[in-house]
Amino acid sequence: MQKAAESWLVLQISGSPFYLGLDAFLGEIPIFIFSLVGGVIADRRDRRHLLLFSQFVQMGCAFALTILIATKLIRVWHILCCSFLCGFAQAFGGPAYQALIPSLVEVEDISNAIALNSIQFNLARVIGPALGGLAMTTLGAAWCFGLNGLSFVAVIVSLFLLKIRFVPEKTKDSMLASLKQGIAFVRHHPAMEGLVVLAFLMTLLGIPMMVFLPVFAKDVFHGGAVSYTLLLSISGVGAIFGALAVAAMGNLRNKGRVALAMLVVLGILIAGFALSKSLVLGAVLLFFAGAALISVFALISSLVQLITADQMRGRVMSVYNVAFRGGMPIGSLVNGALIPIFKAPAVLAVNGVLLSLVGLYFLIVQRKVARL
């Protein structure tokens, strides 16, 4: 709900796609900068505590924006600052969260767990925008932020009730030495470097489709908040469909090959959506693009989890997180700068073509990931 309202609010206040990209950049760049440190701490401390810290910070930002909007003091820089703070909190909560998942399930169920986790995330993306659109049009944007703030209470209570405890190995290594160990693991594993590169390029070229949906809703399809909410919800439904498909496959063989094939398909769908002039056609392509995006994410994430030792998991997942989340701010900022010059359809179509070429390269030329 908050993200839907935030994107529309930034565009409404500023009237500029650049600020839309800047907001996404500031929300993601702290993850790029601080996740490696967060991963080291996740291997040295109770991972629940890091998650609780992350949830409290994000809840505080949501309530702060609620008050600013309700008192009509809101400015674009307020939203940008809160985006940065939330990103900072996620830089420490993200590695801890990803490292905690294998502690809750058996090894053979990791792919299913990641896919099911994607379902709950994307179910929120479907319900959230629908409720967000209703709240924005009837009650005002402040309700979107306020209700999001309240939602953190349930997460915080759940974390307090969680019985799983991570007991880290005692170490005298410095933070820097531990960090180097995580990076060395990634560099020396035959396929891990390829997975990290794929994670970065997938978000660099794929996520801008979601970031700039308000621009397509307003400038390409000539709609308003309702059209934007519709597109966001359809993408979320597609993502749930894709996650269910991955979960139904179970412990799938040839995960690497399937993930790369889906990456090629994703690029084609993004290019098709970017060039579509009809809202109906665009919505259909966006549905399948959402399904492909989450399928690739779930498969690549499960491969990283499966080949990582538990005591290294926080550090390795932080390196993966830096790549995965690092592509988002860079892609958002670059696309935000290019769209006013070349227009959104042309920029996103190029993204789609490049993404398909990346998938083909890893399928045909650099085949380490394809062999997993």
**Whole-number average pLDDT of the chain:** 84
pTM, full prediction: 0.74
How far, in Å, CA of 239 to CA of 218, rounded?
23
302 has a pLDDT exceeding 70: yes
Q: What is the DSSP string of 116-134?
A: HHHHHHHHHHHHHHHHHHH
Q: For residues 29 and 329, is the Cβ–Cβ distance under 8 A?
A: yes
pLDDT above 90 coverage of the chain, percent: 29
Closest CA relative to residue 142, chosen from 56, 61, 65: 65
Indicate if the pLDDT at residue 268 is higher than 70: yes
Six token digits for residue 16: 């500029």
* pLDDT tens figures, 105-117: 776 777 677 667 6
In this predicted structure, the answer to whether residue 142 has a pLDDT above a threshold of 90 is: no
- Burial class for 286, CB neighbours closer than 10 Å (0-12, 13-18, 19+): buried
Cβ atoms 61, 2 nearer than 8 A:
no
**Which pLDDT belongs to residue 129?**
60
Residue among 173, 278, 178 at smallest CA distance from 223: 278
pLDDT of residue 115: 67
The per-residue b/e assignment along 4-30, b for 16 or more CB within 10 angstroms, e otherwise, is bbbbbbbbeebeebebbbbbbbbbbbb
Using alpha carbons only, what angle is made at residue 286 by residues 284 and 288, rounded to the nearest 5 degrees?
Answer: 75
DSSP state of 84: H
Can you tell me the mean pLDDT for 158-177?
Answer: 75
Provide the token pair at 106. Answer: 């058996």
- pLDDT band at residue 292 under the 50/70/90 scheme: very high
Distance CA 293, CA 239 (A): 7
Quick check: 32 and 325 in contact, CB under 8 A?
yes
> What is the band of 47 on the pLDDT scale with cuts at 50, 70, 90?
confident
Q: How confident is the model at residue 58 (pLDDT cuts 50, 70, 90)?
A: very high
Give the other-Cβ count within 10 Å of 163's Cβ.
Answer: 4
CB 216 within 8 A of CB 8: no
Q: pLDDT of 241-266, one tens digit each? A: 887 887 777 667 788 899 999 999 99
Given a contact cutoff of 8 angstroms between Cβ atoms, the answer to whether 216 and 346 are in contact is: no
Q: Residue 154 in contact with residue 11, Cβ under 8 Å?
A: no
- For residue 309, is it left (φ>0), alpha (ψ between -120 and 50) or beta? beta
Which has more pLDDT, 52 or 29? 52
Kindly state the tokens that stand for 272: 């098709």
**Percentage with pLDDT > 70 across the chain:** 91
Q: What is the pLDDT of residues 338-372, one digit of tens each?
A: 999 999 999 999 999 999 999 999 999 888 888 87
Which fold does the domain 2-364 belong to in CATH?
Growth Hormone; Chain: A; (1.20.1250)
Give yes or no for residue 171 having a pLDDT over 90: no
Q: How far is CA 215 from the centre of its chain?
A: 19
The answer on pLDDT for 130 being more than 80 is no
